[in-house]
């Protein structure tokens, strides 16, 4: 398995509170991604990073922010959690981008977040 | 029209059956195709990837791409109960569009 650790694995939080999810990798891969997975929608990209301090938005970025201060860590923050952000969140990493060898994405085990 | 369409199933087959899982897509820029397997409450696991039209085989699994029809398939031969999982197709294209686009997944159950 790719060395990806997500924490926490489960969290219940109240509406309006800030929440931070952490992704830690030991593969020294340049690219890191945050996805959410919801029934009927599949996996959708929230934000991604292409290097330390280099991040960009995905297709469902509203209400989320990210930070990457070290190669190995990529943080996802919900500034003020809402019930619509109840989901399973996955971190992924890849060595390169584009198409071809070493561009495949490897996923962590997920964080199950419930906003009540 | 969604960029990637995948029948969510569920699909239930007896052990030993040949399974066919399929996705269609609309974006002709897609050129790199992947299949992920996801067990319940686990992260997606990369199963196979291919760049070109045609078949790619790995053990009991065969990935097939038909770019002219914008159609990809995953075949599982001699299916086992351990193959019971959700199978996700994913693809990405050239130019600046290197982000993965996923199908919604097909839930497969292989019955002993």
Taking only the tens place, the pLDDT of each residue in B16-55 is 999 999 999 998 889 899 999 999 999 999 999 988 889 9
pLDDT exceeds 90 at position A84: yes
Angle at B57 between CA B55 and CA B60, to 5 degrees: 130
Ramachandran assignment for B54, one of left (phi > 0), alpha (psi -120 to 50 degrees), beta (any other): left
A:B CB pairs within 8 Å: 51
Q: Residue B104 and residue A42: Cβ atoms within 8 Å?
A: yes
Residue-level pLDDT at B98: 78
- Asked if residue A23 lies in contact with residue A90, where contact means CB atoms within 8 angstroms, the answer is no
Distance from CA of B89 to the nearest CA of A (A): 10
Average pLDDT over residues A58-69: 96
Nearest to A99 among B44, B94, B104 (CB): B94
Can you tell me whether residue B81 is helix, strand or coil? helix
Residues of B in contact with A103 (CB under 8 A): 32, 98
Residue-level pLDDT at A97: 85
Q: Residue A100 and residue B45: Cβ atoms within 8 Å?
A: no
Nearest to B46 among A48, A99, A104 (CB): A104
Please state whether beta strands A64-70 and A10-13 pair in parallel, antiparallel, or not at all (unpaired).
Answer: unpaired
Residue-level pLDDT at B1: 63
Least confident segment among A68-77, B22-31, B76-85, B90-99: B90-99
pLDDT digits (tens, 9 = 90+) for B58-77: 999 999 999 999 999 999 99
Residues of B in contact with A90 (CB under 8 A): 43-44
Residue-level pLDDT at B79: 98
Residues of A in contact with B105 (CB under 8 A): 42
């Amino acid at each position: 398995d790719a060395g990806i650790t997500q924490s926490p694995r489960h969290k219940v939080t109240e509406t309006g509170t800030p929440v931070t999810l952490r992704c830690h990798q030991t593969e020294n891969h340049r690219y890191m991604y945050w996805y959410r997975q919801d029934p009927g929608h599949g996996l959708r990209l929230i934000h991604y990073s292409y290097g330390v301090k280099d991040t960009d938005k995905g297709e469902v970025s509203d209400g989320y922010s990210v930070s990457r201060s070290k190669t190995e860590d990529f943080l996802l923050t919900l500034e003020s959690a809402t019930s619509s952000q109840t989901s399973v969140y996955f971190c992924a990493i890849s060595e390169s981008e584009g198409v071809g060898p070493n561009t495949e994405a490897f996923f962590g085990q997920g964080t199950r977040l419930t906003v009540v | 029209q969604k960029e990637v369409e995948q029948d969510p199933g569920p699909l239930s087959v007896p052990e030993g059956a040949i399974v066919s899982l399929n996705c269609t897509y609309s974006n002709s820029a897609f050129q790199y195709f992947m299949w992920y397997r996801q067990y319940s409450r686990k992260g997606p696991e990369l199963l196979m990837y291919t760049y070109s039209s045609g078949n790619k085989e790995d053990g009991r699994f065969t990935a097939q791409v038909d770019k002219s029809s914008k159609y990809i398939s995953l075949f599982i031969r001699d299916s086992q109960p351990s193959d019971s999982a959700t199978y996700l197709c994913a693809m990405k294209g050239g130019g600046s569009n290197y982000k993965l686009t996923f199908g919604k997944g097909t839930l497969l159950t292989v019955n002993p």
